[in-house]
Amino acid sequence: LEQYGIGRGTLREALRLLEFQGVIELRPGPGGGPVMTDPDASHLASSLILLMQLNDAPFGVIVEARAALEPMISRLAAERISAGTLVELEETVDRMRGSLNDRREFLEANKRFHDLIAWSSGNPLFGYLADSLLGIMDGTAIGIDYPPHRREAIIDAHAQIYEALVARDPIGSERCMREHIDAYRRYAERKYPDLLGQVIQWDRTLDG
């Protein structure tokens, strides 16, 4: 209050804004107050989705962004990923194999796989960007679904990416990831061509 010369009402509004953005948590009671947190990418994703809706951007732009971003991320991850993260990565592939008939579990493991690779790039900006787009990329919010045979193809692609990362093969990792994203794009264009042209809706995507 002294440093910026503002009133308590302004301070309260500023704190509420920071809480909404996930930067702080306001804890009640004695000894409470604002506490710093570790924000995730959901707030960035929400902002990006809203901006895309305001610009009438269709779902297809997400596919384009991921196709450009993730192969490069996978290339960097092959050089920087830790042994511990490789173990976690293998576990996500095993989870997906064991949840072919469990849509929610399958998609959570799928997201975790891509999250681990993105953050293993060593570039936090890539981590936040990829993480913020993952929830939109699967397409479930606008009606895209994956039958068992498609889920099996995704598992096979993840296994190939994993093997390339274990081999510390940047070129192979980049190629496998590009093929994986391209396969998703072709599947979506073939099965859901109209959906890719739909404008991303902020509230509808969050509900999904």
Place of tokens 């960007």: 129
Say whether pLDDT at 208 is over 50. no
Instruction: Tell me which residue range forms the domain holding 154.
Output: 42-207
Instruction: Please indicate, yes or no, whether residues 24 and 108 belong to a single structural domain of this protein.
Output: no
Residues 163 and 125 in one domain: yes
| Structural domains of the chain, count | 2
- CA 12 to CA 23: how far, in whole Å? 14
Provide the pLDDT for residue 4: 87
Within this chain, do residues 136 and 201 fall inside the same structural domain, yes or no? yes
Query: Is the same domain home to 108 and 34?
Result: no
* Alpha helices in 98-169, H assignment, sequence order: 103-119, 124-137, 148-166
- pLDDT score of 207 more than 60: no
Q: What is the pLDDT of residue 135?
A: 64
Give this prediction's pTM. Answer: 0.78
Say whether both 54 and 21 belong to one domain. no
User: 34 and 47 share a domain?
Assistant: no
**12, 160 Cβ separation under 8 angstroms:** no
Same domain, 143 and 94: yes
Identify the CATH number of the domain in which residue 142 sits.
Answer: 1.20.120.530
Q: Based on the fold, state whether residues 153 and 61 are members of the same structural domain.
A: yes
Res. 141 pLDDT band, cuts 50 70 90 = low
